[in-house]
Structures are given as C-alpha cells and as structure tokens.
Amino acid sequence: MRSYERLLKYVTFRTPSDEESTTGPSSECQFSLGRYLEQELKELGVADAFCDEFCYVYGHLPATEGMEDKPCIGFVAHMDTVSDFCDHDVTPVITPDYNGELFPLGDSGRVLDPAMFPHLPSLKGRTLITTDGTTILGADDKAGVAAIMTLVETLINEKIPHGPIAVAFTPDEEIGMGTANFSTEKFGAKYAYTIDGGAEGEIEYENFNAAQVKVEFNGVNVHPGTSKDVMVNACLVAMEFNQMLPSGDTPRDTCGYEGFFHLLSMTGDVAHAELVYIIRDHNAATFAHRKETIAHIAELLNNKWGQGTVTFTLRDQYRNMVEIVNQYPFLIENAEKAAELSGVSPATIPIRGGTDGANLSFMGIPCPNLGTGGYAFHGPYEHITVEGMDKVSEILLNLVKISF
C-alpha cells in the first residue's frame, strides 16, 4: 500500500489534542487511531505492537540475520492534530495533474494561491491532496505515520536486511506534551528520526526553545458612574501588557532564526482577563531574556495598578535539539545521503517550531526531524502530494539501508 492511501484512511480519525486537559492523552479520541495502528502493525507482522494506557503505540522489527549487533534505529510520528478547523470530518480532495496555479478549496471561499504559497508552481503535474477548505487535512502528522507504516511494510515484505528497528506513534505533540509519558525503555532505540517536517528532503535538527505563558489580570469592577480612581479594567490592563511587548516580535514579522511572542488567545471582562502566549527562540540566552521580559512587564504593571493585578504561569515545552544532535553528525549525513539517493536535494533548515524529537534528544535518544512532503500545516490550506509522499517513503528506505 502506498503512503497516500494510508493517509486517506488515517485522516478519517479526528484526533485533536486538548490544550486545557490534564490527562494523558489529552483527548480520548486519540485512542481510536492508536488502537487502529496497533492492529495494522500486527497485521503487517510486527508481533509485539501495542498501544499503552497513555496512547503511545510501540513496535519493533528484530534485526535480520547477521545484523543483530547493530544499534537500534527508531522512527517516530505523532497521531494528534491541532484542534482548530477540526470540528467536523475531513473530506479529502484528490486532484491529479495539478496545474500549479490558483486552486479553490471546495466552496469554502478559500484558495491555494501561489502569491501566498510560492512553492505551488513546483507541484505542477503532481496529484494534489487537499480538503474542501473547511478543515485541516491532518497530514501533520498522519503523513509521517503513513510513511513509517509504509516503511515497515516494505522492509518486511521485501525482506530487506536491517538492524533492529523501533517505531513509535505519540499523542499530544501539538500541545507540547508528546513525550510526557513516552517510555524510552519500551521504545528501545539508540537513535531516532521524527517524520514531522515539511517538503520531502527537509532535514531539521535546530528547533525553537519553547514555552507557553498564561497571563491573568485581576481588575476592580465597580459601577462606572462612581468608579473614578477606583476601577481597574482587567481588559485594558491586558491590552497595556501586550503593548509593552516588542511590537515587531510576532510570527508575521519574523523568519529564520528570529524568535517571537505569539498571542494565542484573549478572554475577559472588567473583573478578569487572560492572555495566552507561546514564546519561541532558537538562542537559549535570548529565550531566557524573553521569559524575563514577561516577568518584568508584570512587575511594572503591578507597581502601577497594585500587587496581584497581573500574575502569570510559564511552562517550558521543549529545548533546541541542536545541543544534542550536533554530537552525532552521522545522523544528518545519513539523511542527506538518503535524500540524494532518492533524487531529492536535501535541505537542512531550522525549524520554526518543534517536534517530539527535541524532547527525545534530551531524553537520551538523539532525534533529528525529516520532511513528510506536506505544506501549510495547522489550517485549512494544508496540502500534500502523492508524489511527495512516495519520495519520503523512498528516502526512509534508503536511510535504513545506509544506517545499517
């Protein structure tokens, strides 16, 4: 079975993770895909495949004869999706021989436009997979899951020699909790790759340092007719807080290695308001300074409006894997060779985000990230091509051959 055929099946499972949940996994729906993958692995011949109580799926391919002493290599992808544009079933749209031009997404009014997505002309002639424009596609990261499953099937059916191989599918990556209950012991790999990037041939081992911060504003709500020098409007203080952040440090205004403060949500009334941000930076020192900036602004506003007016909760999510992966250059060299053998020019770029591989690297499993063949993740413009997914499958197969 080709990777895209698996993707079309996997996207029928709606698996949004839940930022507000305190359980693992954060949403029960992720078990539906986890248990399906467990069964599929068993049917392919992975006898020890299992989905554990935290919705992590693990499986192992024993080394073929003569390869038993090789180090175990792992492959990881995540099953969850973002929750935005995920309130109803996905309707995949398959378009053969895409012309590389404007492409309407069903009747949604949304359009894939080369002015917005300059890579679109390079996809001319391929079979494009999109949605009707009202949902995400879910190729992030079900395309990664599909690529790994196709690799497993190929290795088993074609009896390709290899050392020990581990696979894992994780929940809750999209909320920064993808490795919260991950068992390195159950996984058993010495090195690994996440398949969770963009275009085929992408190789990533530099990611953002990441944190989430919730800032709460406690106001004083009295009758507006008698509120002079008494009322403290929590919403206005929240607006003041946001205005004190560097105005150009937003996702829209930054690229490459530049970090940002990203306002995810805002709620509130006169008595109480809340702002939720994510903080990102590749540089550890600058990242620390960004967190200090949050604390400094909170202190200034508390001095102005009264202690306790502004409180915040900051949660670190992941660190830049380059600190670890740089110590294992052969992981990158092998991935580059695998892409070249597949007729793809490797592209080593910094991730303006993160993957499970970042946390796994700091858990003792150096873990770069590879492309899935997809584009425009986390929204209704998400798309991927059949040919791109086939190339990812080829790259992974070549990577196994090179690694052993």
Whole-number Å distance between alpha carbons of 376 and 397:
26
Question: What would the two tokens of residue 305 be?
Answer: 């409006």
Are 95 and 127 spatial neighbours (Cβ–Cβ below 8 Å)?
yes
Are 188 and 76 spatial neighbours (Cβ–Cβ below 8 Å)?
no
Are 372 and 389 spatial neighbours (Cβ–Cβ below 8 Å)?
yes
CA neighbor of 318 nearest in space, from 361, 256, 289, 347: 361
Catalytic residues, by residue number, are 80, 173
Bridging pattern class, strands 73-78 and 165-170: parallel
With b meaning 16 or more CB within 10 Å and e meaning fewer, what string describes 326-351? eebeebbebbbbbbeebebebbebbb
Handedness of CA 2, 8, 9, 11 (dihedral sign): positive
Are 209 and 317 spatial neighbours (Cβ–Cβ below 8 Å)?
no
Q: Burial of 38 by CB count in 10 Å (0-12 exposed, 13-18 middle, 19+ buried)?
A: buried
Whole-number Å distance between alpha carbons of 350 and 348:
7
Question: What would the two tokens of residue 361 be?
Answer: 């690297």
Are 203 and 149 spatial neighbours (Cβ–Cβ below 8 Å)?
no
For the chain, the C-alpha Rg in angstroms (whole number) is 23
H helices of 77-171, where? 139-157
Bridging pattern class, strands 50-51 and 57-61: antiparallel
Q: Burial of 65 by CB count in 10 Å (0-12 exposed, 13-18 middle, 19+ buried)?
A: exposed
